Amino acid sequence: MVERFSDDETAYSEWLAEHPDGFVFNHFGGPPAFNVIHRARCGHLHRTDNEGRRTAVEKLAATGLREMVSRVKQIRGSGQWKFCADCAPAAPERAGAGRPRDAADASWVTPPALRVELDGLENRVTRRLRWTLVGHAVAILTGVALILLLAG
């Protein structure tokens, strides 16, 4: 069953507490980028700056992802909404996925496809940085050697 919350902070907070493994759809209307399905534990849903007015934007909540996606497609149609990139509700559950964001721990949830892409990028950046550092080290050592040669 999909539940709807609009201007009802108490009922919404109770639902989140009772269904930490559920899913929530932020239904802003307008552009697809603002209409997002999150895991119930996603940090975007628990920001303190939204305290007391979280349901000013309509929320739909469900315990099952298929049920949620089906309902969202009925309301918004295909392509008029998205999954949260941070809590990755469409990805298989992983330990810690969707827990409230911790600024000290940026690795808490990375979708697998993005992780592979980032690992590849990190390897390319690391190689380039390594060669840049080697080049700088050679230049510095050459400069020191010239200074010592000219001073001696």
Q: Are 86 and 44 in contact (CB under 8 A)?
A: yes
Helix (H) / strand (E) containing 61: strand 58-62
pLDDT of residue 78: 85
Q: pTM of this prediction?
A: 0.60
Six-digit token pair at 77? Answer: 């149609």
- Stated length of the chain: 152
Give pLDDT < 70 ranges for the chain. Answer: 92-133
Which candidate, 20, 44, 19, 46, places its Cα nearest to that of 33? 44
Q: What is the pLDDT of residues 29-68, one digit of tens each?
A: 888 888 999 999 998 888 887 777 888 889 999 999 999 9
Per-residue pLDDT at 57 = 87
